[in-house]
Amino acid sequence: MQPGELPRTVLPEAARTAFVRMRGITKSFYGARANDGVDFTLQGGEIHALLGENGAGKSTLMNVLTGLYQPDSGEIAIEGHVRRIASPADAIEAGIGMVHQHFKLVPAFTVAENIHLGWNETPFRLDPASLAARTQALSDRFGLAVSPGARVADLSAGEQQRVEILRVLARGTRILVLDEPTAVLTPAEVRALFAALRAFRADGNAVILISHKLGEVLEIADALTVMRAGRSVATGSTAGASRSSLARLIIGDTAIPATVARNETDVPGAQAVPLALRGVSVRDHRGIALLDGVDLDVRAGEILGIAGVAGNGQRALSEVLTGCVRPDAGDVLLDGDASGPRGAREFADWGVGHIPEDRLRTALAADLPLGENAVLRDYRGDAAGSGPFLFPRRLARLARRIIDDAAVNLRDSRIPARNLSGGNQQRLVAERERRIASRVLVAAYPTRGLDVGAVAALHAGMQALRASGVGVVLISEEIEELLAQADRIAVLFAGRIAGILPVAQADAERLGLLMSGQVLPEPVS
Amino acid sequence: MRGFVVQRVPSVSGRVRNAAYAVSALVAVFVAGLLLAALGLHPLALGGSVLKQSLGSRFGVQDLLLLASPLVMCGLSVSLMLRVGLWNIGADGQFYVGAACAAGVALFGPHGSPLLVQITMGLAAMAGGALWIAVPALARLLLGTSEIIATLLLNFVARLGLDWLVTGPWRDPHGMAAAQTARIPDPLPKLPRDWHLGGLHWGLAVVLGLAALLAAAFRFTRWGFELRICGANRDTAAYAGMNVRRRLFQAMLLGGAIAGLGGMLELSGTVHRLQSGLSNGYGYVGIIVAVLAASSPLGCVFTGLLMALVLNAGLVLQTQGVPSSAALALTGLILLFAAIGERLAHYRIVPTRPVAGAGGVA
Ligand SMILES: Nc1ncnc2c1ncn2[C@@H]1O[C@H](COP(=O)(O)OP(=O)(O)OP(=O)(O)O)[C@@H](O)[C@H]1O
Ligand SMILES: [Mg+2]
């Protein structure tokens, strides 16, 4: 608890009516039981973490609470009264609001318009100035900084999320549900979010927080519930819990995967540079520089970490490294060669895998079945057909294998990718891209949304690629992850490489300085 | 405690979907019957005469197949473009332009072997149809203009252009009718007599062959796979290294070419001369054909026949004193019920509790 914060009033157990009491909630999707008799209790004035593996049923349970899904059986009591929550509107009326794992804002609308969309308190006569003023007032009241006139499409993930939260809080929410809110936030944005949540709690409200980041859970949550395979398996206070005790609760009896450490051995032929950038600049459609004169060598058998606060050119960097975007100036060298017209196809065929930051919009066709998403790369290879022809049987077999190897929890390859849980979508993309990365893998925030076990598996996979001589580019905001996995760490600031440190010379403090645009006191190798 | 709930299934097999359509069509016919009864007519007697006239005789069946051919062709054109997520509202115009190009070749081109003439007519028609959609296609790809509006508007241009041709420069100088050209010298040959489909021409085989070819291309080529991804999510297609613009452009040009070829077959096989109103709205019915078939090419053959039956029924009903708009209403009913049926096919009734002893492992 922060110094200076008010101690929470603790009432005797009997006198407290739980804010939310869910009993025996069962929800199955044809053939699969996402929730299986789940009990969940939320007290007023607490931040309650909901934990569990990918596909454990956390998002489903919250979708039931917020009226998006109807449970097959079970009951929900809000402040002691059993209620049927038939729609999100009912949930809002009951004071429950949710920010989803995948944002649901309208990108073409402004912040103010998004906040006032579908809200019964929106004034009948609309003019932009009064909408903006109302939005500003809300922003001040809840301590969430947003710029009312900005278009949502132009906002960073953190800003979009503040808009989502503000939108929910504006409707008089007393129970705020956040589904993996910190997955896409910078550390500073996380701090701001947590401060706002603490203030919200201090007013006697409650928060349900779904997260895979156990450190954050320990920092902010008062209570926790752990789900496994659709059931709630543990619940209690966070007092006395540790990361490893939580991890054990989440994964169950399965051995806890050791944090994968960097492989210190050098890989033979490691001096080769399969992919390099020379003076690369990329501009957006308004002519603003996203990357500005970047020089970068991706070496074989090396994990090159890219540190930096999101929004400093990471997306452009990953796109330029994978041929999705051609630089406006400078060269992208494949094996030292800059010649030839090259796009995403040529890069992929040459052996560059790409885990993009926005899996649901870029890496997956969400409405198409799992099977077709799984073979999005392999459909072109010899294993799937010959010449212009494709052999559906072989393609189905390939899809089967990729889905199995990805350890996705839904095995029916005909189910639309949209219906996978967030972490399982990420697993599928990671496995598909790992397979084609025979030379280079560019991974942007690859552990986003993954549970503890899957993070370890992904890191092990990257180390294995490194050992086989593949160059891995790991774009991440988590300095800990970079220090543990990478051989060298480049820091991206305002579209430029602010410095490149061998991991032996890197520490959180130095990286932090570079990330905030300051110059290191001593020369950097 | 045992109970039942209705649940939505994310994906539906083709068989379930087809069953849903069949049931919907029956329901639509039933409702249409009720409406006719409400008008004071005898729905059973009317239905009987519709069936007798359309399916009861060899001529009826032949008429049905002749009517279905252009509908299927337009349906295939729309389906192909739907595969990449674009709407071809302009199949009607492409059909007209294709027919006009074919007529130009037939009337004014050099005389050669009949087969060669037919092939040249087909190629000219396909080129015409493709050219007709090229403008909306380029506008769509270069400027982002909606292909729906652009293709639709060009229909009127094509129809009026054709009217001008057949009343003006190409008008049959020796004929009585005001709006048609002379008969083309060598029409498409009829199917062999001993197939007992004497009234039908080889165009029918072309239609079926093309449907099979498209179905195979969708399923057995990498190109077909790419079209599907481009239709589902263009960002994903580009990320996976597909040339999205090229695929969209190809699908649009081919869609135009198919509709154009449909016009040539109608001209050379059935009507034998270019005339005003040659298409009779086939391009628009083609949209229904494609949507009902869920843009499956083989499905278009069946839904094309279904729509031909519906249009025929309208004609028969008209001879029995039912207003012509009733047939239109029937078309709408079928589309409405099919859409409802497709949605409902996604729902299942499942027990909320498993049978005791089925094991407790989730
Ligand atoms: N609409 C749906 N249709 C079919 N299956 C679904 C649907 N929504 C969820 N599921 C399945 O239900 C299970 C639970 O999913 P849920 O999204 O609740 O997991 P989660 O705990 O939030 O996981 P993650 O940490 O990966 O986000 C998964 O197996 C998922 O594939
Ligand atoms: Mg989830």
Please write the tens of the pLDDT for every residue from A21-55.
Answer: 999 999 988 667 899 999 999 999 999 999 999 99
Residue pLDDT, tens place only, B292-322:
888 899 999 999 998 898 888 888 888 877 7
Cβ atoms within 10 Å, residue B315: 15
Of the two residues A327 and B342, the one the predictor is more confident about is: A327
Q: Which ligand is nearest to the CA of A101?
A: 2
Nearest to B114 by CA among B185, B182, B66: B185
pLDDT higher than 70, residue A10: no
Nearest by CB to A30, which of B237, B240, B348? B348
* Segments making up each domain of chain A, as ranges: 17-95+175-181+205-251, 282-515
Please state, in angstroms and rounded to a whole number, the distance separating the CA atoms of residues B98 and B259.
7
Q: What stretch of H or E contains A492?
A: strand A488-493
Tell me what pLDDT residue A261 has: 64
* Residue A330 pLDDT > 60: yes
Is residue B69 over pLDDT 60? yes
| Cβ–Cβ below 8 Å for B7 and A369 | no
How confident is the model at residue B10, as a pLDDT?
Answer: 60
- Does ligand 1 have an atom closer than 6 angstroms to the CB of A60? yes
Q: What is the mean pLDDT of residues B135-164?
A: 93
Residues of A with Cβ-Cβ distance to B228 under 8 angstroms? 368, 372
Distance, in Å, from the CA atom of B105 to the CA atom of B185, rounded to the nearest integer, reads 11
pLDDT digits (tens, 9 = 90+) for B222-238: 999 999 999 999 999 99
Q: Which of B10, B228, B238 sits opposite A344 (nearest CB)?
A: B238
Question: Does a structural domain hold residue B123?
Answer: yes
pLDDT-derived band at B342, boundaries 50, 70, 90: confident
Question: Which residue does chain A place closest to B217, by CA atoms?
Answer: A389
Question: Which amino acid, B6?
Answer: V
| Record: fold of A17-95+175-181+205-251 | Rossmann fold (3.40.50)
B244 in contact with A, Cβ within 8 Å: no
In the predicted model, is pLDDT for residue A188 greater than 50?
yes
Compute the Cα dihedral for B53, B56, B58, B61 and give only its sign. positive
Is A363 within 8 Å of B239 when comparing Cβ atoms? yes
Interface contact flag, B362 A343, Cβ < 8 Å: no
Residue B108 has pLDDT above 70, yes or no: yes
From residue B270, how far is each of A191, A295, B59, B170, B184 by CA, in Å?
A: 75, 68, 14, 19, 11
Query: Would residue B84 count as lying in a domain?
Result: yes
Chain A CB within 8 Å of residue B199 CB: no
Query: Cβ–Cβ of A364/B233 closer than 8 Å?
Result: yes
The pLDDT of B185-211, averaged and rounded, is 85
In a domain, B85, yes or no: yes
Q: How many CB atoms lie within 10 A of CB A336?
A: 10
Q: Once rounded to an integer, what is the mean pLDDT over residues A482-502?
A: 93
**Selection from A175-189, A489-503, B10-24 with the highest mean pLDDT:** A489-503
CB B252 within 8 A of CB B81: yes
Determine the distance in angstroms separating the CA of A384 from the nearest CA of chain B, rounded to an integer.
Answer: 9
Q: How many domains is chain B partitioned into structurally? A: 1
* Cβ neighbour number for residue A120 with a 10 Å cutoff: 7
Residue A211 CB less than 6 A away from ligand 1? no
- Span B177-199, average pLDDT: 81
Determine if ligand 1 sits within 6 Å of the CB of residue A409: yes
Helix axes B282-292, B58-83, angle to 10 degrees: 70
The whole-number pLDDT of residue A225 equals 95
Tell me, using a 6 A CB cutoff, whether residue A54 lines ligand 1. Answer: yes
Three-state SS string across A396-441, please? HHHHHHHHHHCCCCCCCCCCEHHHCCHHHHHHHHHHHHHHHCCCEE
- From residue A525, give the alpha-carbon distance in Å to each of A269, A501, A505: 22, 7, 9
The residue among A268, A483, A415, A185 whose CA lies nearest residue B10 is: A415
Pocket test for ligand 1, best of A421, A426, A429 (most atoms within 8 A of CB): A421
B15: closest CA of chain A, how far (Å): 15
- A9, pLDDT greater than 50: no
Helix, strand or coil for residue A22? Answer: strand
How high is the pLDDT of residue B11? 62
Q: Output the CATH code of domain A282-515.
A: 3.40.50.300
Question: Any CB–CB contact under 8 A between A396 and chain B?
Answer: no
| CA–CA gap between residue B27 and residue B335 (Å, rounded) | 11
Give CA–CA dist B171/A230, Å, rounded. Answer: 75
Q: Which residues of A touch B222 (CB under 8 A)?
A: 379-380, 384-385, 388-390
Helix (H) or strand (E) holding B132: helix B114-138
Chain B residue closest in CA terms to A32: B362
Residue B211 predicted with pLDDT over 70: yes
pLDDT at A5: 35
Residue for token pair 């708009």: B325
Burial of B351 (0-12, 13-18, 19+ CB in 10 A): exposed
Which of the residue ranges A115-129, A431-445, B49-63 has the most confident prediction, judged by mean pLDDT? A431-445
Q: A interface mutation test: which of B11, B219, B352 has the most A CBs within 10 A?
A: B11
* Residue A456 CB partners (closer than 8 Å, separation 6+): A257, A258, A259, A260
How do residues A94-152 score in pLDDT, each as one tens digit? 999 999 877 778 888 889 888 888 787 777 777 788 888 889 988 888 888 888 888 88
Q: Are A231 and B362 a contacting pair at CB < 8 A?
A: yes
Only one residue has tokens 């097959």, namely A72
Instruction: Kindly state the average pLDDT of the residues A388-412.
Output: 91
Q: How far is the CA of B345 from the centre of ligand 1 (A)?
A: 22
In a domain, B9, yes or no: no
Maximum mean pLDDT: which of A14-18, A260-264, A448-452, B260-264: B260-264
SS3 of residue A97 by DSSP = strand
Cα–Cα distance for residue pair A445/A234, rounded to 1 Å: 30
Best of A342, A390, A395 to disrupt the B interface (most B CBs within 10 Å) is: A390
What is the percent of chain A where pLDDT is above 90?
50
Range of the domain at B290: 70-295
Check B350 against A388: CB less than 8 A apart. Answer: no
Q: How does the average pLDDT of chain A come out, rounded?
A: 87
Whose tokens are 């006139």? That residue is A149
Give the residue, by CA position, lying nearest to ligand 1 atom 17: A421
**Could you tell me the distance, in angstroms and rounded to a whole number, from the CA of residue A87 to the centre of ligand 2?**
19
Structure tokens at B221: 């080529």
pLDDT over threshold 60, residue A525: no
Q: Evaluate whether residue B184 is within a structural domain.
A: yes
Judge if A17-95+175-181+205-251 and A282-515 fold alike in CATH terms.
Answer: yes
User: Quick one: which of A154, A197, A190, A181 has its CA closest to A46?
Assistant: A197
CB A301, CB A323: distance < 8 Å: no
For residue A58, is pLDDT > 80? yes
Higher pLDDT, B43 or A6: B43
Task: Assess whether the C-beta atom of A56 lies below 6 angstroms from ligand 1.
Answer: yes
Judged against a pLDDT cut of 50, whether residue B179 lies above it is answered with yes
The band of A375, judged by pLDDT with boundaries at 50, 70 and 90, is: very high
Q: Is the CB of B219 less than 8 angstroms away from the CB of A392? A: yes
CA distance A111 to A117: 10
Please give the C-alpha separations between residue B75 and each of A410, B226, B273, B289, B322, in angstroms, as whole numbers: 36, 21, 23, 5, 28
- Asked whether the beta carbons of residue B222 and residue A388 sit closer than 8 angstroms, the reply is yes
* Helix, strand, coil in percent for chain B, rounding step 5: 70, 5, 25
CA-based nearest residue to B107, from B175, B205, B200: B175
Q: How far is CA B353 from CA A230, A232, B4, B186, B356, in A?
A: 15, 19, 8, 70, 8
Ligand 1 proximity of A29 Cβ (cutoff 6 Å): yes
Is the separation of the CB atoms in B273 and B267 below 8 Å?
yes
Query: Residue B182 — very low, low, confident or very high, per pLDDT cuts 50/70/90?
Result: confident
One-letter amino acid at B131 equals: L
What distance in Å separates residue A423's CA from the closest CA in chain B?
19
Give the integer Cα–Cα distance in Å for A429 and A422: 11
Is residue B27 situated within a structural domain?
no
Task: Provide the pLDDT confidence category of residue B361 given band limits of 50, 70 and 90.
Answer: very low
Question: Shortest Cα distance from B236 to chain A (angstroms)?
Answer: 5
Strand partners, A208: A48, A177
* Mutation probe of ligand 1 site: the residue of A51, A59, A228, A408 with most atoms within 8 A of C-beta: A59
A432: phi then psi, degrees, rounded to nearest 5: -60, -45
Distance from residue A253's CA to the centre of ligand 2 (Å): 22
The CA A179 to ligand 2 mean position distance, Å, reads 7
